[in-house]
Amino acid sequence: LQINPLTMRLQEMIRVIRSARTQGEERGIIQRECADIRSQFRQGDNGERSHSLAKLLYVHMLGYPAHFGQMECVRLIASPRYSEKRIGYLGAMMLLDEKQDASLLITNSIKNDLSHSSQYVQSLALCTLACMGSAEMCRDLAPEIERLLRASHSYIKKKATLCAVHIIRKVPELAELFTPSARTLLSEKNHGVLHGAVVLITELCERNPDTLVQFRKAVPELVQIMKGLVTSSYSPEHNVAGISDPFLQVRILRLLRILGHNNDTASDAMNDLLAQVATNTDSSKTAGSAVLYETVLTIMDINSESGLRVLAVNILGRFLLNNDRNIRYISMTSLQKIVQTDHNAVQRHRGTIVDCLKDQDTSVKRRALELSLALVSAVNIRSMMKELLIFLSVCPPELRSQTASGIFNAAERYSPSKRWHIDTILHVLTTAGGDVRDETVPNLIQLITTASELHCYTVHKLYRALIKDIAQQSLVQVACWCIGEYGDLLLKGECEEIEPVQVTEDDILDALETVLQSHMSSPATRGFALTATMKLSTRITDNVDRIRSIVSIYGSCIDLELQQRAVEYNALFKKYDHMRAAVLERMPVMDKNSPGHTNGDTSGEIKEPDTSKPKPVEAGLLSEPASQKHCCVYVHVVPTVSVYEKNGLSLKIQCDKQTETEVTVTLIASNSTQNDITNFTLQAAVPKVCTHSVFKLGSVFAHTNSRYSFQQPY
Amino acid sequence: MQFMLLFSRQGKLRLQKWYVPLSDKEKKKITRELVQTVLARKPKMCSFLEWRDLKIVYKRYASLYFCCAIEDQDNELITLEIIHRYVELLDKYFGSVCELDIIFNFEKAYFILDEFLLGGEAQETSKKNVLKAIEQADLLQEDAKEAETPRSVLEEIGLT
């Protein structure tokens, strides 16, 4: 290192800047230096310009503005002195990018320097063009580059090749210009040129399928080159940890991948080589692992023999056990790519993958989670879920939501039983209720309604969870809903599937009231609790008055939603008491796609659909769709309604099933008199709103003691 | 490769090489956020992370972090080798390189990088060849300077 008095001044400046004790002091020094630099620039050619620019570049790296140096770069590049060109080009790469107008001004200098007698000057021009050349500059200089590709010796050739790569990235149409020369470059012996050639050919093939077809013919040549590298005797110049030029090997393997993809002939031609590399490469150091990694990626992406694929997956499996965390991470990234296509092969490594859930590094954990979720199947669902639930309770917060979703999806697809499914969801809600998506609550409610044999079990479990802790909102909401629906089952004091509780009506109402009054409960949760309380008025016998008073109190609640509900429930007690039983009846089984179930797509916001509040009954079979403005979709539950009671004839309409588009009802007519009723005619009418609906008549069943038969209508 | 950053444990930038066109403002933003992200990582964590839509490969050598942003199809492990090769080159050139060398001779660090990578790709895979080229270029620079230094009349005729 030759120390030059002028260099000292640059280093002196650096020293002074670094000695500044405060930001303000530094800024002062910088300001002084910049003024000095500016005046130096103004002085013109004085042999000091390159040092002034170097100082400016240092200042720029500290984050200070340096745009006044742009023109100086242009001038220095045009200088005949190498020292000035060198720093000028560096300045151009740091201060000028293709967005600056000044960058165009150096095009001519670059053009001249590309044919300079000194290869080091040519080198500067090539480097700069490849670093920051704009599309326009590239178009201008492409012919020069192409010439250098063919004519020059290896020092320049290798740089021209990579320059061509940059040009093609900027101006894809120019690919044609370089395609002919690219092929001949493969016969070069110089590793630098060869490496550049492979990169260039890769770029050409990725952009043009016709070119790709053309270069498939080069596969045997590429295989030969690889073979040479893999089997060659020790070459100190290119050796890295026992691997001969791993950089070149990796690029060739990548090119082979592109050429062999979806093509049997090409894939066959490289099969042996890939097997050889996969078997013989020493992976004790990173260089070898890098080559093995690229080999595996290639094997999996071409039409390889099944034996070769198994070999590749086994390599990945071995990587999973490597002490080096980087290798484990890489392995899982690759396994993720092939878990769908080579599912069984990856399953063999499930145990190791699950172990990686315990890794300290969050990136590794994330990979392990994604892979684990992809490996869940009907066969392993129970053991996998155990691991996933454990993971959920200890995983870093940023992974909880993903884990919860993954668990729900897996449970949805592979639950061995409804009870297991419900238990799993409850477990997730208890552990990570705050991280689940909003539709979890209605999804779970829907699931519970379908598992009618488990209603007693479910409400017991949820009741116990509720009295233990009311912090997890989603869990509390589901618990309230269940208690509102199936509270009578709690009071029975008996249950097949689980130890029953011994509770009184007051106990249950206490639990709900605690939720209502707690500051931890969100407004939505309180809504659930209030409605559940109301519903219990038809399921309990002694304490209805207590419910009446709760409902009346909340009629003046500040929360608008709660107030509205309370007022309506009050009305239900006072004016519509005759309808109360019907309105608050057990819910029918909800279809997954029924309006109350899914979040309204019509409005942008996602809020929980309000399955707890039944709409008061109005005349007509079909209730109007609720307004979507509040982003809450109401369930249009049509309960059983008595529509005619006279002279011993009673008619009831019972809703059996409803979906988004249709409602199925049963008309139950009963005759409580001693005499027969004759000439009973049923006529159905629909409101004008439903003029486009189709009315279908189902079967008619008659239960009669009469001598006369019941005629089937047509 | 899209860019390479060298920074200290305190987050001070020592070298920045950008192979994609970005405004100064964008570069500053990326640098600030990425440096923060990398510095927040614990020692035993793996060298790879996904940041925005980029793959980041980083490695710490003494007090300096070497951090590269690579494309989706690029091989992370070979990038580690590229970083290592660059460190070896610096080490050979400066003789047991330390952060101060790179601070006070930053332009040299750039020159060396520009003989190793071009347009974001490796141009020379032989350590020896890169060092030879730098050596020659340095000589050319010195020769040119010498040729320019004005000599006294006595010097010209060889009397001093």
pLDDT digits (tens, 9 = 90+) for A285-335: 999 999 999 999 999 999 999 899 999 999 999 999 998 999 999 999 999
Interface test with A, best of B85, B123, B148 (most A CBs within 10 A): B123
pLDDT for residue A502: 86
Check pLDDT > 80 for residue A1: no
Report d(CA A433, CA A430) in Å as an integer.
6
Residue A194: exposed, middle, or buried by beta-carbon count in 10 A (0-12, 13-18, 19+)? Answer: buried
Contacts A130 to B, Cβ<8 Å:
118-119
Residue A597: exposed, middle, or buried by beta-carbon count in 10 A (0-12, 13-18, 19+)? Answer: buried
- Closest by CA position to B58, among listed B29, B37, B27: B37
Report d(CA A270, CA A280) in Å as an integer.
15
Q: Name residue B17's beta-bridge partners.
A: B4
pLDDT for residue A157: 96
Check pLDDT > 80 for residue A614: no
Q: Which pair of structure tokens corresponds to residue A106?
A: 């150096």
Beta carbons of B28 and A163 less than 8 Å apart: no
Q: Which of A1, A328, A363 minimises the CB distance to B49?
A: A363
Which tens digits make up the pLDDT trace of B46-71? 999 989 889 999 999 999 999 999 99
- Residue B158 counted as domain residue: no
How many residues would you count in chain A? 714
Q: Which domain holds residue B59?
A: 1-149
pLDDT for residue A644: 78
Q: Which pair of structure tokens corresponds to residue A227?
A: 């073979």
- Closest by CA position to A158, among listed A169, A145, A168: A145
- Chain B residue nearest residue A238, CA to CA: B126
Q: Name residue B157's beta-bridge partners.
A: none
- Closest by CA position to A260, among listed A251, A252, A272, A269: A269
Pick from A160-174, A256-270, A451-465, B15-29: least confident: A451-465
Check pLDDT > 80 for residue A163: yes
Which tens digits make up the pLDDT trace of A168-219? 999 999 999 999 999 999 999 999 999 999 999 999 999 999 999 999 999 9
pLDDT for residue A600: 33
Q: Which pair of structure tokens corresponds to residue B105?
A: 């001779």
Residue with tokens 């990173």: A286
Interface test with A, best of B3, B10, B31, B46 (most A CBs within 10 A): B46
pLDDT for residue A613: 47
A87 touches chain B (CB under 8 A): yes
Q: Which pair of structure tokens corresponds to residue A485?
A: 């629906």
pLDDT band per the 50, 70, 90 thresholds, residue A703: low
Q: How far is A386 from chain B (nearest CA, A)?
A: 27
**Where is mean pLDDT largest: A38-52, A110-124, A566-580, A699-713?**
A110-124
Q: Which of B46, B123, B129 minimises the CB distance to A162?
A: B123
pLDDT for residue B157: 60
Query: A 276-315 residues with CB below 8 A of B?
Result: 286-287, 289-290, 293-294
Beta carbons of A82 and B141 less than 8 Å apart: yes
| C-alpha distance across the termini of chain A, in Å | 107
- Closest by CA position to A261, among listed A298, A313, A291: A298
Average pLDDT over residues A658-671: 70
Q: How far is A20 from chain B (nearest CA, A)?
A: 15
Q: Which of B42, B110, B115 minimises the CB distance to A90?
A: B110
Q: Which pair of structure tokens corresponds to residue B78?
A: 């070979």
Average pLDDT over residues A1-20: 79
Beta carbons of A86 and B141 less than 8 Å apart: yes
pLDDT for residue A598: 39
- Residue B157 counted as domain residue: no
pLDDT for residue A503: 87
Average pLDDT over residues B107-115: 97
Q: How far is B21 from chain A (nearest CA, A)?
A: 6
A31 φ, ψ (degrees, to nearest 5): -60, -45
pLDDT band per the 50, 70, 90 thresholds, residue A625: very low
- Chain A residue nearest residue B42, CA to CA: A361
Average pLDDT over residues A24-44: 91
SS3 string of A363-430? HHHHHHHHHHHHHCCCCCHHHHHHHHHHHHHHCCHHHHHHHHHHHHHHHHHHCCCHHHHHHHHHHHHH
* Interaxial angle between packed helices A49-61 and B106-116, expressed in degrees from 0 to 180 and rounded to the nearest 10: 90
A91 touches chain B (CB under 8 A): no
pLDDT band per the 50, 70, 90 thresholds, residue A639: low
* Other beta carbons within 10 Å of B41: 17
Q: What is the DSSP string of A268-336?
A: HHHHHHHHHHHHH---SSHHHHHHHHHHHHHHHHTT--HHHHHHHHHHHHHHHT-S-HHHHHHHHHHHH
Q: Which of A120, A294, A363 minimises the CB distance to B48?
A: A363
How many residues would you count in chain B? 160
Which tens digits make up the pLDDT trace of A475-533? 999 999 999 999 988 888 888 888 888 888 899 999 999 999 999 999 999 999 999 99
pLDDT for residue A656: 67
CA distances from A375 to A321, A366, A421, B8 (A): 18, 14, 18, 41
- Residue B156 counted as domain residue: no
- Chain A residue nearest residue B81, CA to CA: A287
Beta carbons of B119 and A165 less than 8 Å apart: yes
Check pLDDT > 80 for residue A622: no
pLDDT band per the 50, 70, 90 thresholds, residue A627: very low
Check pLDDT > 70 for residue A459: yes
pLDDT for residue A328: 93
Check pLDDT > 80 for residue A553: yes
Helix (H) or strand (E) holding A480: helix A473-492
Q: In total, how many domains does chain B have?
A: 1
Looking at residue B139, which CATH number applies to its domain? 3.30.450.60
DSSP state of A634: B
Q: How far is B111 from chain A (nearest CA, A)?
A: 8
- Residue B42 counted as domain residue: yes
Q: Which pair of structure tokens corresponds to residue A174?
A: 């120019």
Beta carbons of A237 and B126 less than 8 Å apart: yes
Query: A 575-634 residues with CB below 8 A of B?
Result: none
Q: How far is A176 from chain B (nearest CA, A)?
A: 20
Which tens digits make up the pLDDT trace of B142-157? 887 666 555 555 555 6
- Residue B154 counted as domain residue: no
Average pLDDT over residues B59-84: 96
Average pLDDT over residues A5-23: 86
The residues, ordered by sequence, that sit 6+ positions from A639 with a Cβ below 8 Å of its Cβ are A582, A583, A585, A614, A617, A655
Report d(CA A51, CA A7) in Å as an integer.
7
pLDDT for residue B65: 97
Contacts B110 to A, Cβ<8 Å:
90
Residue with tokens 């029918």: A588
Computed on alpha carbons and rounded to an integer, the radius of gyration of chain B in Å comes to: 19
Report d(CA A640, CA A581) in Å as an integer.
9
Beta carbons of A330 and B126 less than 8 Å apart: no
Query: A 95-114 residues with CB below 8 A of B?
Result: 97-99
CA distances from A79 to A50, A121, B139 (A): 10, 11, 18
Check pLDDT > 80 for residue B1: yes
Q: How far is A97 from chain B (nearest CA, A)?
A: 6
pLDDT for residue A712: 47
Which tens digits make up the pLDDT trace of A426-443? 999 988 888 888 888 898
- Closest by CA position to A182, among listed A167, A203, A156, A152: A203
pLDDT for residue A63: 92
Contact status, residue A454 vs residue A447, Cβ threshold 8 Å: no
pLDDT for residue A141: 96
Check pLDDT > 80 for residue A632: no
Q: What is the DSSP string of B32-88?
A: HHHHHHHHTS-TTS-SEEEETTEEEEEEEETTEEEEEEE-TTS-HHHHHHHHHHHHH
Q: In what order do the strands lie in the sheet with A641-646?
A: A641-646, A649-658, A663-671
Contact status, residue A596 vs residue A609, Cβ threshold 8 Å: yes
- Residue B82 counted as domain residue: yes
Q: Letter for the amino acid at B57?
A: V
Q: Which pTM does this prediction carry?
A: 0.76
Average pLDDT over residues B31-55: 93
The chain-wide mean pLDDT, for chain B, equals 91
The chain-wide mean pLDDT, for chain A, equals 85
pLDDT band per the 50, 70, 90 thresholds, residue A669: confident
Interface test with A, best of B27, B38, B49, B114 (most A CBs within 10 A): B114
Check pLDDT > 80 for residue A604: no
pLDDT for residue B153: 57
Q: Which pair of structure tokens corresponds to residue A82?
A: 């190498």
Percent of chain B at pLDDT > 90 equals 81
Average pLDDT over residues A146-164: 94
B7 φ, ψ (degrees, to nearest 5): -145, 160
Beta carbons of B123 and A159 less than 8 Å apart: yes
Beta carbons of B136 and A47 less than 8 Å apart: no
- Residue B41 counted as domain residue: yes
User: β-strand A239-240 against A641-646: which pairing, if any?
Assistant: unpaired
Q: Letter for the amino acid at A117?
A: S
pLDDT for residue B149: 58
Pick from A219-228, A247-256, A620-629: least confident: A620-629
Q: How far is A387 from chain B (nearest CA, A)?
A: 23
A652 φ, ψ (degrees, to nearest 5): -125, 145
Check pLDDT > 80 for residue A616: no
A140 touches chain B (CB under 8 A): no
pLDDT for residue A658: 62
- Residue B160 counted as domain residue: no
Q: Which of B22, B76, B140 minimises the CB distance to A330?
A: B76
Contact status, residue A458 vs residue A496, Cβ threshold 8 Å: no
CA distances from A627 to A412, A580, A613 (A): 31, 24, 14
Which tens digits make up the pLDDT trace of A485-494? 999 888 888 8
Average pLDDT over residues A325-346: 91
Report d(CA A94, CA B15) in Å as an integer.
10
pLDDT band per the 50, 70, 90 thresholds, residue A220: very high
Check pLDDT > 70 for residue A636: no
Average pLDDT over residues A46-53: 85
Which tens digits make up the pLDDT trace of A404-416? 999 999 999 999 9
Check pLDDT > 80 for residue A86: yes
- Closest by CA position to A275, among listed A259, A253, A254: A253
SS3 string of A62-120? CCCCCHHHHHHHHHHHCCCCHHHHHHHHHHHHHHCCCCCHHHHHHHHHHHHHHCCCCHH
Q: Name residue A239's beta-bridge partners.
A: A244
